[in-house]
Amino acid sequence: MPRLFLTSDLDSFPVTPHGCSVTLACGVRLQFPAGATTTPVTIHYRLWLPEPGLISLGPHDFLLSGVLELKPHGVAFQQDVSLWLLFVPPRTRRCREVVVRTWSNSIWSDLETHLEEEAPKRLWARCQVPHFSWFLVVLRPVSNACLVPPEGTLLCSSGHPGVKVIFPHGATEEPRHVSMQVVRMPGRELQALLGEPEAAVSPLLCLSQSGPPSFLRPVTVQLPLPPGVTGFSLDRSRLHLLYRAPPEATWDDITAQVALELTHLYARFQVTHFSWYWLWYTTKTCVGGLARKAWERLRLHRVNLIALQRRRDPEQVLLQCLPRNKVDATLRRLLERYRGPEPSDTVEMFEGEKFFAAFECGIDVDAGRPDCVDGRICFVFYSHLKNVKEVYVTTALDRETQAVRGQVSFYRGSVPVEVPQEAEAARQRKGADALWMATLPIKLPRLQRSEGRGQGAGLSLVPLNLGDADTGFLTQSNLLSIAGRLGPDWPAVALHLGMPYRELQRIRHEFRDDLDGQIRHMLFSWAERQAGNPGAVGLLVQALEQSDRQDVAEEVHAILELGRHKYQDSIRRTGLAPEDPALPGTSSSQISEPAQA
């Protein structure tokens, strides 16, 4: 079977009836068995950054990967194609499972998924796909499903053996698919929320089905009693059965509407349609409102926001949203190269929640980025992915007379049409501004008169644009961002760029106490020599790939794509080119199919 290995400058590959094995530049693997296609076909792929409008997550799902699009959509293969997707290892798998989710027949569905471990912390999700669409990896509560025949059946939870659903004979006329998910809430969090040491809840049960909304005969549901509660000792006035019908977020107390049958360890009740069910044991009376708060607590993540400036180049700012338990370890690793204020106070965020960072008080973003809107950097929080971005900032104020003391503020939600004004007293308006989360100081030190604006120590960075209109441009700010990512790998990149070893030695000696200076000098001296060379950007990407820095190569591709879009938009606005809907990028910013999901 032929084997293909794609470099990052290729976004398509041919498949013949003989089959082939393909490894994409991003690490994704595909295997087309012989006979999967009857005629030769060209497969296109693209990696999308995860956006709430592009992906589908359940209330208790976590995203573990980016979004892979394979085209042409809907092409049916004669044999299933094997797909391997890399994903971030989940922090815990207790009562949870990893699955590949795909867009198929206008709905999102989960594929049967097998996990393969290539090395520690390098995991693959393998699945069989009959056709191509969008694919992503998610962590979900363990799901159990079955086909209910007219004769009836029993469905049990594999993660919580005490949870069962009993379908009697005649509950349905036609076979229908039903599924079950169970979510457990830590007792300590519940007791802290209610302020009641004896409060307890059962696992949260979610039931769904295909076909008609109701069953012909009542279905019996069994839930374990809350921990510490037995059927012989409980106070029935404190036991509440709660019900939630999506998409409503309210929980209703239906204890008086059903007949609860209690055993020593379990509670049984009958229903005619499926939804969410939860048993509570508490002395509180308005349980529905408390259940809503507890359910939100299950989905919230406690995070801290950080803003650090590179020690040798304070105009380079790292912004990151970190789970609270990872802050100390991350700061210990970063503070060798960065410095900045203490992390923000703890804030709570949902999986997939949008927020943005706004530089204020004289500080501006000095680069065109796909995630930058009017100087505001857009984020989408996913608890298992890296919520980190590095930006290059500047100021219109005179730094030769004094340092510039600005700030970066974090706000919930999408970047509004009218972006917030400078928040001089953001810390004091938390109560009045529910969207504000945190403000951290940013300081650009005073420049000595011998220094130029935006210059690195001992290095003159002349203005340049590397590339051309076809491949896109890399600006000075883009190159600075790339330089900040190379670290100790820069000599390998330099050699693959064709730089003589003697020149590497000279750079090492000249900047022997300044690793950042070595990297910037190497990259900019090479870029200046490539001025006017239309293939320079391709050489840089190829050198990064050959040096095993695929992560930086992918960042370069994202910058180039944005540059091409902006270039095409600018020439159309100025009338230098006619409007042509066939131009690359004229519609790539719109993702129509997932948006309609």
Q: Is residue 588 part of a domain?
A: no
Whether residue 557 lies in the annotated active site: no
Query: With bands split at pLDDT 50, 70 and 90, how would you rate the model's confidence at 449?
Result: low
510 pLDDT more than 70: yes
Are 313 and 451 contacting, i.e. CB atoms less than 8 angstroms apart? no
Domain boundary, last residue among 108, 141, 174? 141
When pLDDT is cut at 50, 70 and 90, the band that residue 418 belongs to is low
Q: Are 269 and 259 in contact (CB under 8 A)?
A: yes
Q: For residues 122 and 249, state if they share a domain.
A: no
pLDDT at 562: 67
Tell me whether residue 454 is in a domain: no
Based on the fold, state whether residues 106 and 58 are members of the same structural domain. yes
Residues 6+ positions from 359 with CB-CB distance below 8 Å: 365, 375, 393, 406, 407, 408, 442
Q: For residue 333, what are its two tokens?
A: 């690793």
Q: Looking at the domain assignment, is residue 336 inside a domain? A: yes
End residue of a domain, out of 278, 298, 318: 298
User: Residue 594 is inside which H or E element, if any?
Assistant: helix 592-595
Q: Report the distance separating Cα 282 and Cα 303, nearest Å.
A: 30
Name which of 190-194, 534-538, 573-577 the model is least confident about. 573-577
Q: Which of 106-115, 213-222, 372-381 has the lowest mean pLDDT?
A: 372-381
587 inside domain: no
pLDDT band at 567 (very low <50, low <70, confident <90, very high): low
Q: Which two tokens stand for residue 345?
A: 């106070």
Whether residue 293 sits in one domain with residue 147: yes
The per-residue pLDDT for 197 is 83
**Which of 298, 332, 349 finishes a domain?**
298
* Predicted local confidence at residue 394, as pLDDT: 85
Task: Please tell me the predicted confidence (pLDDT) of residue 525.
Answer: 85
pLDDT of amino acid 207: 92
pLDDT at position 16 over 80: yes
**Same domain (yes/no): 188, 331:** no
Residue 535 has pLDDT above 70, yes or no: yes
For the question of residue 275 being annotated catalytic, the response is: yes
The CA distance from 283 to 238, in Å, is 6
Same domain, 8 and 119: yes
Number of helices and strands in the chain (H, E): 10, 38
pLDDT band at 8 (very low <50, low <70, confident <90, very high): confident
* 456 DSSP assignment: B
Lowest-confidence segment of 344-358, 514-528, 555-569 by average pLDDT:
555-569
Mean pLDDT, residues 538-549: 86
Q: What count of other Cβ atoms lies within 10 Å of the Cβ of residue 290? A: 21
The least confident of 230-239, 496-505, 523-532, 553-562 is 553-562
Specify burial of residue 542 (Cβ count, 10 A radius: 0-12, 13-18, 19+): middle
Q: What is the pLDDT of residue 219?
A: 95
User: What is the predicted pLDDT for the residue at 574?
Assistant: 53
How many beta carbons lie within 10 A of that of residue 581, not counting itself? 6
Q: How confident is the model at residue 428 (pLDDT cuts 50, 70, 90)?
A: very low
pLDDT in tens, 50-60: 888 888 888 89
Residue 557 has pLDDT above 70, yes or no: yes
Task: Provide the CATH number for the domain around residue 315.
Answer: 2.60.40.2660
Q: Of 113, 43, 116, 125, which is closest to residue 77 (Cα–Cα)?
A: 43
Best-predicted range by mean pLDDT among 283-287, 413-417, 449-453, 593-597?
283-287
Long-range contacts of 524-529 (CB under 8 A, 24+ apart): 524/459, 524/461, 524/464, 524/479, 526/494, 526/497, 526/499, 527/464, 527/466, 527/474, 527/479, 528/462, 528/464
Q: Are residues 136 and 153 in the same domain?
A: no
- Looking at the DSSP bridge assignments, the partners of residue 262 are 267
User: Does residue 141 or residue 570 have the better pLDDT?
Assistant: 141
Give the pairing of strands 3-5 and 20-23: parallel
Interval 536-545 mean pLDDT = 86
Residue 8, Cα to own-chain centre: how many angstroms?
21
Tell me, yes or no, whether 364 and 231 share the same domain.
Answer: no
Helix, strand, or coil (residue 233):
coil
Q: Please check whether residues 486 and 387 belong to one and the same domain.
A: no
Q: Which of 44, 114, 169, 273 is labelled catalytic?
A: 273
In a domain, 81, yes or no: yes
Ordered DSSP codes for 262-329: E-SSEEEEEEEE--EEEEEE-S-S-HHHHHHHHHHHHHEEEEEEEEEEETTEEEEEEEEEEEGGGHHH
**477 pLDDT higher than 90:** no
For the chain, what is the mean pLDDT? 82
Asked if residue 589 belongs to a domain, the reply is no
Strands annotated E in 184-253: 200-201, 204-209, 214-224, 239-244, 252-253
In a domain, 592, yes or no: no
User: What CATH number is associated with residue 534?
Assistant: 1.10.533.10
Confidence of residue 185 (pLDDT cuts 50, 70, 90): confident
- Output the pLDDT for position 591: 32
Give the residue, 466 or 253, on which the prediction is more confident: 253
Please name the helix (run of DSSP H) or strand (run of DSSP E) that holds residue 412, with its range, or none: strand 404-412
Higher pLDDT, 434 or 426: 434
Is residue 540 within a helix (H) or strand (E), and if so which, with residue range?
Answer: helix 536-546
Residue 577 domain flag: no
pLDDT of residue 568: 59
Q: Is the pLDDT of residue 395 over 60?
A: yes
pLDDT of residue 563: 61
Residue 109 annotated among the catalytic residues of the structure: no
Q: pLDDT: is 464 or 458 the higher one?
A: 464
Q: In DSSP terms, which residues pair with 487 in a beta bridge?
A: none
Report cis status (omega within 30 of 0) of the bond before 72.
Answer: yes
For the ranges 130-134, 213-217, 219-223, the one whose mean pLDDT is highest: 219-223
Which three-class secondary structure state does DSSP give residue 507?
helix
Domain total in the chain = 4
Report the relative pairing of strands 81-87 and 62-63 from DSSP bridges: unpaired
8, 56, 133, 157: which is the annotated catalytic residue? 133
Residue 509's pLDDT is 82
**Chain segment 488-498, per-residue pLDDT in tens:** 788 888 898 88
Which tens digits make up the pLDDT trace of 232-242?
888 999 999 99
Cα–Cα distance measured from residue 310 to residue 339, given in angstroms and rounded to the nearest whole number: 6
- Could you tell me which of 162, 275, 179 has the C-alpha nearest to residue 226? 162
Considering the domain architecture, whether residues 128 and 267 belong to the same structural domain is answered as no
Q: What distance in Å separates the CA atoms of residue 152 and residue 168, rounded to the nearest whole number?
A: 5
Is the confidence at residue 551, as pLDDT, over 60? yes
Does residue 229 surpass a pLDDT of 60? yes
Q: How confident is the model at residue 225 (pLDDT cuts 50, 70, 90)?
A: very high
How far is residue 578 from each of residues 368, 371, 469, 587, measured CA to CA in Å? 24, 27, 16, 16
Query: Cα(437)–Cα(347) distance, rounded to whole angstroms?
Result: 7
Please check whether residues 404 and 379 belong to one and the same domain. yes
> How many CB atoms within 10 Å of residue 30?
21
Is the model more confident about 572 or about 222? 222
177 and 260 in a single domain? The answer is yes
Q: Residue 197 has which token pair?
A: 């040491």
**φ, ψ at 322 (rounded to 5°):** -120, 140
Inter-residue long-range contacts of 385-388, CB under 8 Å, 24+ positions, other chains counted:
385/50, 385/63, 385/64, 385/88, 386/320, 387/320, 387/321, 387/322, 388/318, 388/319, 388/320, 388/321
Q: Is the pLDDT of residue 593 over 60?
A: no
Say if residue 15 is in the same domain as residue 52: yes
The pLDDT confidence band at residue 152, using thresholds 50, 70 and 90, is: very high
pLDDT at 455: 41
pLDDT at residue 431, rounded to an integer: 46
* 64-118 residue pLDDT tens: 999 999 999 888 888 899 999 999 988 887 889 999 999 887 888 999 999 998 7
Structural domain that includes position 438 = 305-417+432-444
Does the structure show a pLDDT above 50 at 453? no
The pairing of strands 252-253 and 472-475 is unpaired
420-436 average pLDDT score: 51
Report d(CA 137, CA 124) in Å as an integer. Answer: 10
Domain CATH number, residue 233: 2.60.220.30
Q: Is the pLDDT of residue 458 over 60?
A: no
241-252 burial, b at 16+ Cβ within 10 Å, e below that, comes to bbbbeeeeeebb
